[in-house]
Amino acid sequence: MIQEFSEQEIIRRESLAKLRELGIEPYPAALYPVNTNAKQIADEFSPEKGNFQDVCLAGRIMSRRIMGAASFGELQDESGRIQIYVKRDEICPDEDKTMYNTVWKKLLDIGDIIGIKGFAFYTQTGQLSVHVKELTLLSKSLRVLPIVKELDGQVFDAFTDPELRYRQRYVDLIVNPQVKDVFVKRAQIIATMREYFNQAGCLEVETPILQNIPGGATARPFITHHNALDIPLYLRIANELYLKRLIVGGFNGVYEFAKDFRNEGMDKTHNPEFTCMEIYVAYKDYIWMMEFIEKLLGIIAVKVNGSSKVKIGEHEVDFAGPFRRLPMLEAIKEYAGVDIKGMDEDQLREVCKQLHVEVEPSYGKGKLIDAIFGEYCEDKLIQPTFITDYPVEMSPLTKRHREDSSLTERFELFVCGKELANAYSELNDPIDQLERFEEQAALKSKGDDEAMYIDMDFVRALEYGMPPTSGLGMGIDRLTMFMTGQTTIQDVLFFPQMRPEKMD
């Protein structure tokens, strides 16, 4: 492939060649002994204490102001930016001042990564700076950064185009450093969850990503082929069935942060590859799980934002419990104005027709109910709300309700009209489970390509006996969206899935 370069990129490549002619390696392999960062200096420097007098920093040049034999610049590292002061006679050991006159002034560019050694001080105007005593080129940048410029109150060259930001996240992180905050908070969320689960006595585990049968959810899988075994394999759509096998095996509590994959549509809240946390705890039920996860979300909100209240779009959402608990059929009655309890499939189709809810011929009773709920109820659920007691047709892995066998002991947690978590009192009756799998197979034969497969090994595991268990799955991407106030899933993924870029 023949690359075409802009005029500025050609100049940078010429500078690269000139640096090598001067004997300066633009990409040195040597260790650089960084001993502090920009934020630490800003937070802790005190002229009275005389600290930070032997500073070693590394980062990108983000601006320069050349003023004859001295100049100022801005250095950006992982923690932020700091001004640097470069004086010709102090960084040049040679008589012709090559390092300053040629390298610093002419051959280095915005975006180059350099290392500096020197000391912290305040300029006459009170600006915290590092006085550079030694300067080393660590990596030459060959492309021009889209640095923001302002003129008469107007902003130019801001790197704001969403598609470019997602495709070139590395550039986004450089020129929009506030983006890092979202991913720092994402890491805090996961760390907080791990600590909470570990303190509860649960064990973090790993289960297969490549599976013979894509079980644990109703979704369309990605299919591949294993050449050595000559069999089809599926990228997992959920890790539920493997985690429950571990409960059968004797673990009382297990959880996993899993990469799951679903070969379905993409939008602002869905990516085909996503992170899901699933947890299973023996001798518990879905009522216990509501209280358990309700407490966790309050802890996360305070940890990440300093308050249980989080701004999500135009709404202020309070994650301090208790959350409202609303049975699904009552929610449909409240928001759609129709009581569907006891209706069969034909009656539900008629209700969908009357309510102008679009459905497919392949939909069974469960999906018809789900369609009504999605159309009339979901967007009303702004504050955290547990929707409980789903019809049995919607929940093939869930224990039947202890008081009404037409329902199941299941809840979904909704926030701002979106599902955040899904939990059950897990079905542990192997006979009932096989019948549910067979019902799913019948739906698949009718054309529902999201219906579950029959997993006979999982049925066999249940036949050995699984204790009463509560399980929950929670989308980490969506949780991060809520806790950081983002409106699209792409903004909480470093590298969201996109159409291939044409690289001419």
Q: What is the pLDDT of residue 447?
A: 78
Superfamily of 179-323+383-492 according to CATH: Bira Bifunctional Protein; Domain 2 (3.30.930.10)
Nearest to 359 by CA among 350, 346, 368: 368
Long-range pairs of 312-315 with CB within 8 A, sequence gap ≥ 24? 312/415, 312/416, 312/481, 312/482, 312/485, 313/416, 313/485, 313/487, 315/382, 315/416
For 477-499, the DSSP string reads HHHHHHHHT-SSGGGG-SS---P
Nearest to 387 by CA among 369, 405, 402: 369
DSSP letter at 322 equals: P
Residue 66 bridge partners (DSSP): 71
| DSSP H helical ranges for 101-178 | 162-167, 169-175
How many angstroms separate the CA atoms of 373 and 371, rounded?
A: 5
Q: What is the pLDDT of residue 445?
A: 80
Location of each CATH 2.40.50.140 domain in the chain = 7-145
3-class state of residue 237 by DSSP: coil
Q: What is the pLDDT of residue 152?
A: 58
Structure tokens at 388: 């409980």
Tell me if the pTM is above 0.85. Answer: yes
Q: What is the pLDDT of residue 111?
A: 96
How many angstroms separate the CA atoms of 376 and 333, rounded?
A: 10
Q: What is the pLDDT of residue 396?
A: 82
Nearest to 114 by CA among 164, 69, 75: 75
Measured in whole angstroms, the distance separating CA 486 from the mean position of its chain's CA atoms is 11
Structure tokens at 487: 């409106």
CATH topology assigned to domain 7-145: OB fold (Dihydrolipoamide Acetyltransferase, E2P) (2.40.50)
Pairing outcome for strands 210-211 and 223-226:
unpaired
What stretch of H or E contains 462? helix 456-463
Nearby residues of 10 by Cβ (< 8 Å), 6 or more positions away: none
Mean pLDDT per block of 10 residues along the chain (504 residues) reads: 84 97 94 96 95 97 93 96 95 84 94 97 96 96 82 63 92 93 97 98 97 87 94 94 97 97 90 96 97 98 96 94 95 96 94 94 90 96 97 87 93 96 95 89 79 89 97 96 94 93 72
Pairing outcome for strands 210-211 and 231-235:
antiparallel
Cβ contact 237:185 at 8 Å: no
Structure tokens at 321: 């419990």
Location of each CATH 3.30.930.10 domain in the chain = 179-323+383-492
Residue 400 bridge partners (DSSP): 408
Nearby residues of 47 by Cβ (< 8 Å), 6 or more positions away: 121, 122
Phi-psi sector, 283: left (phi>0), alpha (psi -120 to 50), beta: left
Q: What is the pLDDT of residue 148?
A: 65
Cβ contact 117:52 at 8 Å: no
How many angstroms separate the CA atoms of 26 and 17, rounded?
A: 9
How many angstroms separate the CA atoms of 152 and 136, rounded?
A: 36
Residue located via tokens 């104005």: 337
Cβ contact 272:262 at 8 Å: yes
